[in-house]
Amino acid sequence: MVLNATFWKNKSVFITGHTGFKGSWMALCLSSMGAKVSGYSLAPPTDPSLFEVAKVENFLFHSEIADIRDIEKLKSSIGTQKPEIIIHMAAQPLVRDSYKDPIETYSTNVMGTANILEAIRLKGDSVRVFLNITTDKVYENKEWVWPYRENERLGGLDPYSNSKACSELVTHSYENSFFKKEDISKHRLSIATARAGNVIGGGDFANDRLIPDLIRSISLNQSLKIRNPNSIRPWQHVLEPINGYLLLIESMYDSDGIYNGAWNFGPNTNETVPVIEIVHKLQKIIEVCQNSDPSFQLNIPRYEIDNGDHPHEANFLKLDISKAKNQLNWFPKWNIDHALLKILEWTNAYLNGTDIQNICLNQIEEYSRLTTV
């Protein structure tokens, strides 16, 4: 199964968190297929930001800068835009920031989810699909070697992971209280949650994420301190889970609720590698690019191991994607080496002053040739 671009033509799609890294890529992907995209979000979380350097706002039908915790504005926006599809991506997305401000994290990630579901309940008669984008970290991590399946116990030790697990529970509660699957002929709303791994891609300027930190260290000619070199994560290019999310939404639309529930989108098992291997892969790819492309500006990154005390983060995490493979026929397309190459191409273009909007659209087109009809 591949994406049906015709399905998205003129579909009214409402994205929360559209100014973020992942939300910006989502907005560009949807707009490239002809969807009418509305966004509701705080201002871009970083400076610079993908939203601004790629001029994402130019592709939007409507963009509203507002807080997901402001339920009156949220109700008004949904009532006015009358979306058919809502993709909830607004969040406080960083583990280390959640230790610094847990209340901000819980209020955004938990009450923000409750607010949008309440807004749908009160003002969302037009909405046919609600997809809550959470994280691979919602699982109660037992540090075992097996990938986590969608029916594993939710948990999360740190405030971020725990708040996203709570967001899933809120979604499940609203579905069972107000939008039961057996009553879908009346309310017409399908609801699901989607869990992705460590999403990487061009335009991520966040702090305390491996790839952006590496890119910054290269730009500043500084050695990067690696906190958890042996931690294993399900790395994947941002276009991979976005493709999965959109494929899931197509399936949910007019499906009588059979696709409701939780879904994992991650890399194949052999692509789940330690932090230090990502660093070494990046070094090798940069060396190849330097030798083959005279315009390539990036230097090989230097690093050192930081053995200091740090807040708890999971050491071992893999996702079982059998459900998406078997029921959606969704499969990862880009391996980790190709994903890193795309990031380096994006970054080199950015440093060279190239039109970033075109770079994003070209990468989307390249990926879409594998996944869209």
341, 210, 317: which is closest to 264 by C-alpha?
317
- 246-264: average pLDDT: 96
How does the average pLDDT of the chain come out, rounded?
94
Question: Does residue 114 sit in helix, strand or coil?
Answer: helix
Percentage of residues of the chain with pLDDT beyond 70: 99
Would you state the structure tokens that stand for residue 85, as one six-digit string? 């599809």
pLDDT category, 373, cuts 50, 70, 90?
low
270, 281, 198, 277: which is closest to 230 by C-alpha?
277
Decide if 265 contacts 238 (C-beta within 8 A).
Answer: no
Q: Which 8-state DSSP code applies to residue 139?
A: B
Most confidently modeled range among 52-56, 210-214, 225-229, 290-294: 52-56
For the chain, the structural domain boundaries read 5-204+233-271+316-335
Residue 216: CB atoms within 10 Å: 14
**Model-wide pTM > 0.85:** yes
Q: What are the tens digits of pLDDT across the range 274-325? A: 999 999 999 999 999 999 988 888 888 889 998 777 776 767 889 999 999 9
Q: What are the tens digits of pLDDT across the range 191-221? A: 999 999 899 999 999 988 899 999 889 888 8
- 162-183: average pLDDT: 97
Any idea which architecture 5-204+233-271+316-335 has in CATH? 3-Layer(aba) Sandwich (3.40)
Decide if 255 contacts 219 (C-beta within 8 A).
Answer: no
Sign of CA dihedral 11, 12, 16, 19: positive
Q: Which 8-state DSSP code applies to residue 157?
A: S
Distances (CA, A) of 225 to 284, 297, 299, 304: 19, 22, 17, 5
Q: What are the tens digits of pLDDT across the range 92-110? A: 998 889 999 999 999 999 9
CA distance linking residue 162 with residue 170, whole number of Å: 12
Beta bridge partners of 41: 65
What are the residues whose beta carbons fall under 8 Å from the beta carbon of 129, sequence distance 6 or more? 84, 85, 86, 189, 190, 191, 192, 249, 252, 253
